[in-house]
Structure 1
Amino acid sequence: MTTAKDIMHPGAHWIPKTETLEHAAMRMRDLHVGALPVSDEDERLCGIITDRDIVIKCVAEGRDASTCTAGDLCVGTPRWISANADADAVLSEMETHRIRRLPVIDENKRLVGMISEADLAKHLDEHQIAEFAQKVYAAS
């Protein structure tokens, strides 16, 4: 059985919710990623921000990325998956919530990896990928 741990890209990095978006953008650049999970003071997932979030919700609104924090952009309940969840559960979570990146959390509620579309493409069959694309990208 293929699990989230098998699919994920290990070694994902948190960014604290108190970190500025300027620093978040530099971290994304340095790590060559388009999203970072955001942690609270207890190092638990409280959100996820993307490079697009920084542009649309900060820069385009005339806000200062050197004072706006990652926590300022986190809204709603973050989605995540257990490292032991099977591939069907991963797809269901991503498809149901129409998300393209999914943090993977271990039994201690700590971040152990991220699953992206590229990770799905490497580990799942063509039928699963086609279904994912149709559900996530199709007009609602």
Structure 2
Amino acid sequence: MTQHVSDVMTSALVTVEPQASVTAVARMMRDENIGAVLVTDGEHLRGLVSDRDLVVRALAEGGDPNDMTVAGACSEDLVTVGPDDDLTLAVEVMREHSVRRVPVVDEEQHPVGIVSLGDLAIERDSESALGDISAARSNQ
């Protein structure tokens, strides 16, 4: 039976505008227990910022994280999938582009979800180490 991206994606999106501070986004990630936030400009998907992006592209550069905006830390060269795409396509996109998370967009390219490597591991092989870790409760 064919599975679609919509079957495993997270549809409860957390988004920020590009002007949001790195500190504010880090707090959102902590409070929502997530590792990535979509960066939007109105309804337009502009980028994705992960916890790793915040460390490597913002904090490691120095400066005050309250003054740094997420626009400088987010990945803007995005690959996306649609909610009706076959789950296999999401796997192929992640492999080809070496990414752990892929935004899910509708026909108008508006964000409707995000699918992560952890989501796929839980669905495809819940007994794997990654599937087991991804399904575990947060240690916060």
TM-score range, shorter chain: 0.7 to 0.9
- The aligned length equals 126
Partner of 1:95: 95
Shift of 1:76: 4.2
Partner of 2:68: 68
Partner of 2:121: 121
95-104 vs 42-51, which moves further: 42-51
In 1, the alpha carbon distance for the partners of 2:59 and 2:73 equals 12
Partner of 2:82: 82
52-61 vs 82-91, which moves further: 52-61
In 2, the alpha carbon distance for the partners of 1:52 and 1:125 equals 25
Of structures 1 and 2, the one scoring higher in RCO (CA 8 A, sep 6+) is: 1
Q: RMSD over aligned Cα, in angstroms?
A: 1.8
In 2, the alpha carbon distance for the partners of 1:15 and 1:83 equals 21
Amino acid at match of 2:111: L
Cα offsets for 1:38-88 (capped at 9, x unmatched): 112x32111111111112222222122111111112354212111111012
With structure 2 as the length reference, what TM-score do the two structures score? 0.81
With structure 1 as the length reference, what TM-score do the two structures score? 0.81
In structure 2, the CA distance between the partners of 1:91 and 1:73, relative to structure 1 (3 Å rule), is same
- Identity rate, percent: 31
SS at match of 2:23: helix
- Runs of 4+ in structure 1 deviating by more than 6 angstroms, as ranges, are none
- Asked if 2 retains the 8 angstrom alpha-carbon contact of 1:45 and 1:78, the reply is no
Amino acid at match of 1:23: A
Shift of 1:118: 1.7
